[in-house]
Structure 1
Amino acid sequence: MHRHLISLLTFYCLSLSLLASPLKHDAYDTLDLYWFTSRPFVYENEAGEMEGIEPDMLRSFQRYLEKEENISVTLNWVKANDFSHILEIIKGTDDPDAIGVSALSITDERKEYASFVDPYLPDITVLISSKGTPIVRSFEELYEMMRSMDAVTIRDTKYEMLLNNLRKQIGLNFDIIYIESEQNVIEGVASRTDCFGFIDLPVYLLQVESGGEVVRQNFFTVKGQGYSYMMPVNNNWKDHFNRFLVHVDYRDEISDIISGYLGEELYGFIDDLYRGEALGTSILTKEKEMQLELLKNVNFRLEQEQTVRKILIVSTSIAVLFLVAIGYLYYRNQKATNLLLGQKGQIEVQQQDIQQKNEQLMNRNAQLVALNEEKNNLVRILAHDIRSPLSQIIMVTDILNQKIDDNLPETDVKLLNQVTASAERINKMVTKILDVDGLEENRVKVMNERVDIRDVMKDVAQRYRPIAAKKNIDLSVEFCDDHYMIRTDHLLLLLVLENLVSNAVKFSDQDNSVELRAQCEYDSVLFKVSDKGPGFSENDKKKLFNRFQKLTAKPTAGETSTGLGLSIVKKYVQDLGGKVWVESEFGKGSTFFVKLSA
């Protein structure tokens, strides 16, 4: 209702200005419409006919001119070479009857060389990224994510302009992949990994409604000046078109055209959103509503399939009973040989019934497995998300314990110790949940990322130097290069090195040393973790990388050991496509080697 009221006010204001200087035209004229494919705004169907929001609006405009202004026009559709070609035509033509048609956004730059009719649809652009990329929560996270990603766009579009503005704003010179104008940016991002780009909000929401899997980022949602038709400065049709847009007999027809392609609910949402302020929150809410509706539709189809299946089962049962009855009558009227044939038929029917019941049980079991998987996913997500802050709490409390002043009240000291103990206990529980679940269920997902091994080794050393310092153990790190990058899973590599360094510190005596080194080659990197601990016996080496194995060596300061660490290392190194082995002599320390491809 409020949309119609606003349109009505616009109509009266525009009508007063236009009545003051009416334009005159020949009774017959031809509009040269320069277009390029931009679904759902303008495209050509299989029969070669023009379809989309803008062709339907122009046909409505054609009827308006004939009925209201006594002007007959012919629509001459001219396909441009690409999107930028439309801009070049409008910019360079002297033809007052030329019109650019392709969901053109009004921009200040384009206003310098062209004229636009009043916008017929709000223009909102969102930033999307490939399936599987995380939703970032800060500019720092966005910067880190985009460092290893490429942008996708089309030349001479507002999408390219927004990417160039983004480069300047975040100070990152990312690479840009240009696709053909007939392609869609959202399809270009969806078909690639580690990519991002800008796309119109209606196109994105239509993709969400159909079950698409790109990720929308909450940053850089841009509100433009609206979608419009583009004309030369000396055009003949701007005022006519503006009168058409607000005409009382055609406003509802225009709304119906747009709603027919976007859906009435989606069109209303975009129209309301354009006048609001909290764009990100409103879009996020709409996404969740559409995803929930999609899930409801899937569940509804599943329920329909189950109903059909039940009907088939009942029908089959009735048919079986009918066959049994016929078989019984047949049995009474036939000889002994016919009796045997009847029994055989009954057995076959029973086998079919058993097979159907087995299929039902398998389907129900699959549903239970899916529900259990959802539960496990939630547990793993929660466990993983609290692991990092727990590690930080433990490190901070350790530092505070080392700096405790004698004047600190005993009550505060006890509270600090309780915080440390509780954090360490929870951290062990989280580690066990993540490690045991990943090993038992074999659900570890390996990411393919660009990883700086220097950053990973620094992180490991920073985490374990306070622990090593308690035993007066010197934890040294030796890098092979300032920034040696490999493609691997950052988290799995971190967990592998953490486990090896943790074991080296755990099983080393006081006043000793542990070394973490990296040897970089042309196509691989070799990590070495060395200690001067008790080493391994030949019997230990045979079961070294098995789960829940208690070996000869014991932690030197009463630390706990689950027997999972080295089995986790072996599993994760295999997932990363690498090799792990140990060189050790009993009583003379050990060196673990991890070799990964670069």
Structure 2
Amino acid sequence: MRVNLNLLKISTFTALLLFLTAAHAIPSDNNATDQGITYSHVKQQKLAATQQPIPLTVLYVPAEGFAYVNPQGQLTGVSVEIMQDFAAWLKQQHQLAVQLNFVSEPNWQQFYQRIVHARGGVFGLGNVTITELRKQELAFSPPYLHNIAALITHQDIAPLSEWQALPEQFATLKPLAFSGTLHQQRINRLRDQYQPNAEVQQVNSNPDVLAKVASGQYYAYVDAYNYWRAREAGMPLRDHPIAAEGGETFGFIMPHSNDWAGLLEGFFAADSGYLHSPRYQQILTEQLGDELAQLLLSQQQQ
């Protein structure tokens, strides 16, 4: 019986990566299914010298404009392109060739918990607002976007001119929230103050929020880019500028055991700051459109 030796061959680098992934895994519970090689192991084992790509795991929540598959079948978007720029920077500045292995997780809450329980070189792209409370569970990159939260209703609802008018103008509407997000906290505050007897209905995705608000039965908070995208698609929505909230920022998330975080900080700080670079403005403009890009860029100055 002849054995095909080609089937038995495995590169030294591949074997080493398999060994390192298993050997370096931190003991964890059953939820810790997402693991990646740490930067400390890359240095200890001199993996950069092999000239082979070092795999990093990148979980993402599909979102139009930020992480989506284009008509050509390519994964793209603001978050995806920034991570790809980070990979290019690692190659240029640190001679580290990394391979970004993107993994889709459509459920935002599951996505968040997967990163909380992940180990090592794992990153999460999900437009997560940076808060001190979340920093207890996760590590954050520097901000990659300055966000605006918009209060939206059906377009037939007249614009709010003052808060005191909300109970009357929204009398036929029910509060709606994306479960587990800061928008839920915002809606809860409005309900408590202006509609204390109303029950907040919860959904688990931005498309659900937009569809229900467009039905004319609900009001909700969404990120400004989601509202703009929905309006461009022809959804009958209106925002209420009196209720707009800025001052929050999005960051990529990582488990605390991800020691690539220092390099990610270096990437954002290089050359007077990534968010001030023409490349960053180009990404926002191409992915979100010029008007929305300029609105979001203006938030950096406030």
What is the aligned counterpart of 1:31 among 56, 59, 62? 56
**Superposed displacement of residue 210, structure 1:** 5.7
Say yes or no: does 1:204 pair with 2:227: yes
For residues 128 and 281 of structure 2, the distance between their equivalents in structure 1, rounded to whole angstroms, comes to 18
Offset of residue 174 of structure 1:
2.4
What secondary structure is seen at the aligned counterpart in 2 of 1:41?
coil
Quote the residue 2:83 is aligned against.
Answer: 58
**Aligned equivalents of 2:287, 2:210: Cα separation in 1:** 18
Q: Provide, for residues 535-577 of structure 1, a one-character-per-residue CA deviation record: whole Å limited to 9, x for no partner.
A: xxxxxxxxxxxxxxxxxxxxxxxxxxxxxxxxxxxxxxxxxxx
Aligned to 1:141: 165
Structure 1: give runs of 5+ residues left out of the alignment.
1-22, 277-598
Partner of residue 257 from structure 1, selected from 255, 261, 283: 283
Aligned to 2:96: 71
Q: Distance in 2 between matches of 1:267 and 1:109?
A: 29
CA drift at 1:202:
2.5
**Aligned to 2:298, which of 251, 266, 272?**
272
What is the rounded CA distance, in whole Å, between the counterparts of 2:177 and 2:41 in structure 1?
A: 40
Map 1:379-398 → 2, pairs under 5 A: none
List aligned pairs for 1:358-397, cutoff 5 A. Answer: none
What is the identity, as a one-letter code, of the residue corresponding to 2:101? N
> 1:6-17 counterparts in 2 under 5 A?
none
Question: Cα deviation per residue 1:456-492 (whole Å; 9 max; x = unaligned)?
Answer: xxxxxxxxxxxxxxxxxxxxxxxxxxxxxxxxxxxxx
Normalising by structure 2, what TM-score? 0.74
Alignment of 1:81-100 (within 5 A): 81-93=106-118, 95-100=119-124
Question: Measured at CA, do residues 50 and 184 of structure 1 come closer, stay the same or move farther in structure 2, by a change above 3 Å?
Answer: farther
Structure 1 residue 47, shift from structure 2 partner: 5.5
TM-score normalised by L of structure 1? 0.39
Q: Which amino acid aligns with 2:157?
A: T
Q: Which residue of 1 aligns with 2:253?
A: 230
For 2:27, the equivalent position in structure 1 comes to none
Q: Quick one: distance in 2 between partners of 1:92 and 1:173?
A: 37
C-alpha displacement of 1:252: 2.4
Structure 2 CA distance, aligned partners of 1:161 and 1:64? 37
Partner of 2:213: 189
Alignment match, 1:117? 141
Report the alpha carbon displacement of residue 161 of structure 1 after superposing the two structures with TM: 2.4
Cα distance in structure 2, aligned partners of 1:204 and 1:137: 20
1:470-481 counterparts in 2 under 5 A? none
Partner amino acid, structure 2, of 1:35: Y
For the 8 Å contact 2:108–2:204, the answer to whether it is kept is no
Distance 2:132 2:75 in 1: 29
Say which structure is richer in strand.
2
Aligned match of 1:551: none
Q: Does 1:104 align with 2:96?
A: no
CA distance in 1, matches of 2:295, 2:259: 34
Aligned partners of 1:193 and 1:54: how far apart in 2? 32
Count residues with an aligned counterpart.
Answer: 252
3-state secondary structure, aligned to 1:230? strand
**SS of equivalent residue, structure 1 residue 99:** strand
Check the 8 A contact 2:56/2:122 in 1, yes or no. Answer: yes
Instruction: Go from structure 1 to structure 2 and tell me whether the alpha carbon gap of 1:175 and 1:87 turns closer, same or farther (over 3 Å shift).
Output: same
Q: For 1:29 and 1:61, how far apart are their aligned partners in 2?
A: 14
CA apart distance, 1:102: 1.7
Higher relative contact order, chain-length normalized (CA < 8 Å, sep 6+): 2
1:247 deviation in Å? 2.4
Give the deviation of 1:145 after TM superposition.
2.9
Q: Distance in 2 between matches of 1:54 and 1:185?
A: 22
**Structure 1, 179-188 or 228-237: larger mean CA deviation:** 179-188
Q: Does 1:241 find its partner at 2:267?
A: no
Taking a change above 3 Å as real, the CA distance of residues 169 and 230 of structure 1, as seen in their structure-2 partners, is: farther
Within a 5 Å distance, the mapping from 1:145-184 to structure 2 comes to: 145-170=169-194, 172-181=196-205, 183=207
Q: Structure 1, residues 432-458: CA drift from partner, whole Å, max 9, x if none?
A: xxxxxxxxxxxxxxxxxxxxxxxxxxx
Task: Give the superposition deviation at 1:164.
Answer: 1.8
Q: Percentage identity across aligned positions?
A: 22
Q: Which amino acid aligns with 1:64?
A: W
Structure 1 residue 212, shift from structure 2 partner: 4.7
Shift of 1:108: 2.6
Rate the CA distance shift 1:198–1:91 in 2: closer, same or farther, 3 A: same
| Backbone CA RMSD of aligned residues | 2.5
User: What amino acid is aligned across from residue 297 of structure 2 in structure 1?
Assistant: D
Counterpart for residue 519 of structure 1 = none
Structure with more helix by fraction: 1
Which of the pair has more CA radius of gyration?
Answer: 1
Tell me how far apart the structure 2 counterparts of residues 122 and 49 of structure 1 sit (CA, whole Å): 26
1:80 equivalent in alignment to 2:83? no
Q: Is the 8 A contact 2:188 2:200 kept in 1?
A: no
